[in-house]
Amino acid sequence: MSRYDPSAIEPKWQAAWEDQQTFRAVRSEDKPKYYVLEMFPYPSGRIHIGHVRNYTMGDVIARYKLATGHNVLHPMGFDAFGMPAENAAMASGGHPKDWTYSNIDTMVSQMKPLGFGLDWSRMFATCDPEYYGQQQALFLDFLEAGLVYRKNAVVNWDPVDMTVLANEQVIDGKGWRSGAEVERRELTQWFFKISDMSEELLDALDGLDDWPAKVKLMQANWIGKSRGLQFAFSTIDAPEGHDRIEVYTTRPDTLMGASFVGISPDHPLARHLEQDNPDLAAFNADCRKGGTTEEALEKAEKRGFDTGLRVRHPFDTAWELPVYVANFILMDYGTGAIFGCPAHDPRDLEFARKYDLPVVSTFASSEDEGHTLPEDGGPAYVPPKTETVIYVRGFAGETEQTGAAAIDAAIDFCEQNGVGHGVTKFRLRDWGLSRQRYWGCPIPVVHCDACGVVPEKKENLPIALPYDEDGTAIDFSVPGNPLDRHPTWRDCACPTCGQPATRETDTMDTFVDSSWYFARFTAPRADTPTNLDDAAYWMNVDQYIGGIEHAILHLLYSRFFARAMHVTGHLPEKCKEPFNALFTQGMVTHAIYQTKGADGRPVYHYPEDVDLRDGKGFLKDGTEVQIIPSAKMSKSKNNVVDPVAIIQQYGADTARWFVLSDSPPERDVEWTASGAEAAAKHLGRVYRIAAEVAGAEEAPTAEDDALLREMHKAIHDVTGGIESFGFNASIAKLYGFTNTLAKSKAGSDAKRQAAKALAQLMSPMTPHLAEEIWALLGGEGLVAKAPWPVAEEAMLVEDTITLPVQVNGKRRDEISVPKDMDKAEVEKLALATDGVTRALDGASPRKVIVVPGRIVNVVA
RNA sequence: GCGGGCGUGAUGGAAUGGUAGACAUAUCAGACUUAAAAUCUGAAGGGGAUUUCCCCGUGUGGGUUCGAGUCCCACCGCCCGCACCA
C-alpha cells in the first residue's frame, strides 16, 4: 500500500483544478451566486502563517458553497501602495515599484501551493495604473458630486528632515529618524465628506445582522452621535470680536456646577490673546508640540493657562467664571470650547484640583451608600445616563430623574429662556486623504494660476507615477516627497485654459485603495471603475473575513465608499452596505524562546534551535530557555513560522488543517511543532483508512446501521460547524468520526459510503487529500464539484436518551428513558434513583424540575 | 486617557442558562518489535475515601436563578483600535 505523500498528490490536484477551471467565477442565472472575500494582503515580502489561516477560512467557505451549488466568486489581490515600499527604497536603495512587484511575485508563488480555490484571473494590485487610474476617475466623480473638498488640517512636521510624518513615525513626540521634537503644521488638504453620512452610517448598522455585535458597537461609538446644548458665555472686557464664547455640552443638566470655561490653544480667542501675552504664546506653542494622535493628547498631563479673562454664567450675570486655555480641548470637536463641571467629569476634576477651582455637585446618587462627594475629595460622579439620580442643583425637570430626562429638560428650558439651542453632533470627522508621499495614487488635480484648482480630464487618466527623473531612477534616500522635487512630472497644461500649470503632488491615503477593491473584483478589467451588470450580479460580498484591527477605519471607509459610488452611479442601490456578513478572525501566535545575554538584554532563539522536553526548552548546549507562550509573531522576536517551510515538511493540507483545528477562528491560535506533527499524522491515518476501505470486500454486518448513523451525525455536525464558523468544532467531529470509522466492524459497502462522506466533509479543509481518497474510493469527478452530502433527519434521532439527575444543582445520578416519556413518569424514575435517595437522606423533595430531553433537577 | 474584546486542566481548547474539561497536544501504562521509530489499545482536573462515594474547581469578589463557564455589578490581568501603519 502506498503512503500518504502530499508532495506528490498536492501538485497533481492543483493541476487538475487549473485544467478544469474549477474555481473560475462565471456568471450564470441558473445558480445562486456567492461572493467570499478575505481582506487582501499588503505585499510585505513573504506570506505569513496568519495569511494561511485567513485565506484557509475563506477557502473553506468558498469550497463549501461551490459544493452546495453556488456560483462562487473568491478573488485575490494586493493592497500594494504604502510606506514600507518607500522605507525599503530609503534603507537599501532600489525603487518602491520594483520592490512591490517582486514581493507580489514571491507571495503569489508561495500562495499557489496552498491550493486555495481562488479565481486568479481576477488578480490585481492597487499600484497597477489600470486600478489607480479608475480610482482617479472615482475621485473626479466624487469631486463633481460634492463629496470631496479642500480645507486646512494639521500634520506632524519633522523640522529636521523637513517632512511630514505619519503617526506611526512619531515616537514619544519625536521623529523616528531625526529624533527631533515633532511640530504641528497646517497644510491645505483634500477631504472626503464622510461626516455628511454620519447619521446614515450609524442607522444602517442596525441592518447588518451578520456582523459581530462588537464591531457594530465600535463603529457606533466611533461615529459618536450626541445630543447636547450649544450656547454662549458673554465675556467681560474681552478683545473686540470676542464678546461671546460658544460652547457645546452633552451635559447641560450640570450647568449649575460650572466652574470654569476652557478653550483650545487653537481657539481664535487663544490665538488673539497670545499676540500680546508672551507667556500664553509660549504655553500655546508648547501645547502645539508633540504628536497629533488622540491617544497622545488624552494621556498628556492636563495643563491650563489662566487668561485672566472672565465670563458671566448664562443663568446669573453676577456669577463669573475664569477662562483657561487647556491642552486637552480639541479645536475640531464641538466649538473648541467647553464649560468645566468638575463634579461630573473626571478630566475636569483633575484640572480643577490642579488649579484650585470650585467643585460643585449638581446631582447625587439616589442610593444612600455613603459615597464621598467630589467636593469632599471623592471621585467625579458620572453614572450612566439611564440611572435615576437626585438633582441638588437642578433647574429643569423633576428633582429625581434620569440623566437622559434631565438633559432633555435642560435643553427645553434653555431654548425657552433664550440660552442656546439643542444640537445633534457627531464625533466622526471628515476623512483627510492627502498624503505627502510618492508611493500612492496621485490625486488627479491641477493647480493653475488663472483657474485655481482644476480637476484633470478623464481622458488624461491614469495620471501615472513617474519611475525616473531625468532618465535616472528617483533617489529615495532624500527625505520628503520625490514628486515635489521631480524636474518635469509636475508640469502640465491646465485642463480648463490650456496654460502651463502644475500637478498636485499629494497622493491618496492607502485606505482609499482598499475602500473599493471588493467592487473592482466583480469586473477587474473594465475600462470604468465598475461594470454595473457585473456589480449587480456579484455584489454584495456575502462573507467578508479579516482582522478585528480593521473593525473601525477600513470597514467604515468602505461603507462610505459604497454609498459614494452609488451616488456617482458606480454601484447599484443594493450595494450601499457592501458586506452582508463579516467575520473577524484571530492571529496565529507562537511561543518566544529567550535567554539573557551578557548585557542583560533578552536574546531570542529560533524554534528550530530549541529542544522541547517535559514542557521546558533547551538549546543545543543544554542551556534552558525561557518560554513565553502565545506571542504575536514578530521577526525581531525570532518566533515567525514560515509557511513555505511547513508546506515542504508536511504539505499544504497539514498546514491548512492545523491552523483551523486548535482554536475557534475568532480567537488567536498558537502554532506548535507538535500540533503540526499531529495534524500530519492524522491526515496520514485518514489516507491509510481510506486505502484499506477501498480495497476491502466484506459482507454487510449488523454494525452497518450504527456506522451510517454516525456518518449522518458527522454530516450534520460538520456542516453546522462550517455554516457557523466553528471550524475547530467541525474538525473535532471529523477526528471523532475517523475514529469511529477506523474501529467499525461494518461491511465494506457501508464503510466505503462513510469514507466517501469523510472525503467530502474534509474537502474544504484538506482539499488535496480529499480529492485523492475520493478518487481512491471510486468517487465520480472532482470532490470539489461533488454535491455536498445531506444528513437524513431520521438517522439523527436516538430512541433512548440519558438524562442527568441533579439534586440542588449537583449531579447525583442519571436515568435512561425513551425520548418522549412524559414528565410525571420521568420525575418518578428520577426520584427513585440511588443517587437521589442518598442525597435527599430521608428528606422529601420540595420541587422537581424536568427539562424534557435535557435534565432533571430535584430541589430539596 | 477613551472605546471594544478576552480570561476554563500541564497546554490549545469544548460546552442553545442544564452531566464542566468534547477533540487534540504533552505525559504515563500496555500491545507489536531483538531494539527504536511508526502503528494500535488504554489511563489521566485537584484533594480525600479506596471498585460503585464525598469535597473543591472555569482570573478575583459579589448578585440573579431550581440550576451560572455562560446573565448582571465591581475589581485584576492581557489583547485590539484611537482617524497619516497596513
Specify the pTM: 0.92
Tell me, what's the pLDDT at A364? 84
CB A497 within 8 A of CB A451: yes
Cα distance between the two ends of chain A: 63
Average pLDDT over every residue of A308-313:
94
pLDDT one-digit tens code per residue, A680-702 = 999 999 999 999 999 888 888 88
Estimate in Å the CA A561 to C1' B26 gap, whole number: 50
| Span CA (A814) to C1' (B64), Å | 28
> Is the distance between the Cβ of A164 and the closest atom of strand B smaller than 7 Å?
yes
Which residues of chain A between 505 and 524 are close to nucleic strand B, CB under 7 A? 509-511
Strand B proximal residues, A:195-214, Cβ < 7 Å? 213-214
Portion of chain A with pLDDT greater than 90, in percent: 59
Q: Does the C-beta of A100 come within 7 A of strand B?
A: no
| pLDDT exceeds cutoff 70 at A239 | yes
A629 touches strand B (CB under 7 A): yes
Q: How far does the CA of A184 sit from the C1' of B84, in Å? A: 13
Residues of A 127-156 whose CB lies less than 7 Å from any atom of strand B: 153, 155-156
A215 CA to B64 C1' in angstroms comes to: 28
Q: Check whether A366 has a pLDDT greater than 80.
A: no
| Partners of A30 in beta bridges | none
| CA/C1' separation A307–B60 (Å) | 48
Q: CB-based contacts of A235: which residues, under 8 Å, 6+ apart?
A: A242, A243, A244, A245, A309, A310, A311, A323
From the C1' of B80, which residue's alpha carbon is nearest?
Answer: A549
Nucleotide nearest to A859 (CA to C1'): B66
Q: For residue A163, what are the β-bridge partners?
A: A158
Average pLDDT, chain A: 90
Query: Which nt sits closest to A332, CA to C1'?
Result: B83
pLDDT digits (tens, 9 = 90+) for A836-848: 888 877 778 888 8
Please say whether the beta carbons of A241 and A319 come within 8 A: no
Task: Please check the confidence at residue A631 and state whether its pLDDT lies above 90.
Answer: no
Q: How confident is the model at residue A591 (pLDDT cuts 50, 70, 90)?
A: low
User: In terms of DSSP H, where are the helices of A250-324?
Assistant: 268-273, 278-287, 294-299
Look-up: residue for cell 504575536?
Answer: A632
* Strand B near-CB residues (< 7 Å), A 689-728: 726, 728
Q: Measured from the CB, is A802 under 7 Å from any atom of strand B?
A: yes
pLDDT of A615 > 60? The answer is: no
Q: Is the CB of A27 under 7 A from strand B?
A: no
With a cut of 90, say whether residue A522 has pLDDT above it.
Answer: yes
How would residue A793 be classed by pLDDT, with cut points 50, 70 and 90? Answer: confident
Whole-Å CA distances, A399 to A313, A343, A393: 22, 18, 9
| C-alpha cell recorded at residue A686 | 485518514
- Work out if A814's Cβ lies within 7 angstroms of strand B: yes
Mean per-residue pLDDT, A828-832 = 88
Query: Span A522-543, mean pLDDT?
Result: 97
Residue A361 Cβ < 7 Å to strand B: no
Q: Say how far residue A197 (Cα) sits from the centre of its chain.
A: 21
Per-residue model confidence as pLDDT tens digits over A338-356:
999 998 888 888 889 899 9
- What residue is closest to B5 (Cα–C1')? A214
Residue A629: per-residue pLDDT: 62
Q: What is the mean pLDDT of residues A121-144?
A: 98
Rounded to whole angstroms, the Cα distance separating A801 from A816 reads: 6
Considering only residues A174 and A842, tell me which one the structure prediction assigns the higher pLDDT.
A174
A548 in contact with nucleic chain B (CB within 7 A): yes
Instruction: Output the distance from A244 CA to B51 C1' rounded to whole Å.
Output: 89
DSSP A7-63: HHHHHHHHHHHHHHTTT-----TTS-EEEEEEPPPP--SS--HHHHHHHHHHHHHHH
278-307 on A, CB < 7 Å from strand B: 292-295, 298-299
Residue type, A384: P
Cell numbers 502506498 correspond to A2
CB distance A116 to A78 below 8 Å = no
Where does the pLDDT of residue A45 fall: very low under 50, low under 70, confident under 90, or very high at 90 and above? confident
How high is the ipTM of this complex? 0.92
Confidence of residue A369 (pLDDT cuts 50, 70, 90): low
| pLDDT interval class at A381 (50, 70, 90) | confident
A450 in contact with nucleic chain B (CB within 7 A): no
In chain A, pLDDT over 70 holds for what percent of residues?
94
With CA of A733 and C1' of each nucleotide, the nearest comes out as: B23
Place of cell 467541525: A730
CB neighbours of A450 closer than 8 A, spacing ≥ 6?
A494, A497, A499
Q: What is the DSSP string of A715-757?
A: HHHHHHHHHTT-HHHHHHHHHHHHHHHHH----HHHHHHHHHH
Task: Give nucleotides in strand B with any atom < 7 A to a protein C-beta.
Answer: 1-6, 10-16, 18-20, 22-27, 38-41, 53-55, 66-68, 79-86
Residues 6+ apart with CB under 8 A from A606: A593, A638
User: Is any atom of strand B within 7 angstroms of residue A165's beta carbon?
Assistant: yes
Using CA atoms, how far residue A620 sits from A568, A598, A600, in Å, is 64, 18, 21
How far lies A482's CA from each of A478, A479, A489, A595, in Å?
Answer: 8, 8, 10, 44
A379 touches strand B (CB under 7 A): no
- A815 three-class SS: strand
For the ranges A298-302, A448-452, A608-612, A725-729, the maximum mean pLDDT occurs at: A448-452
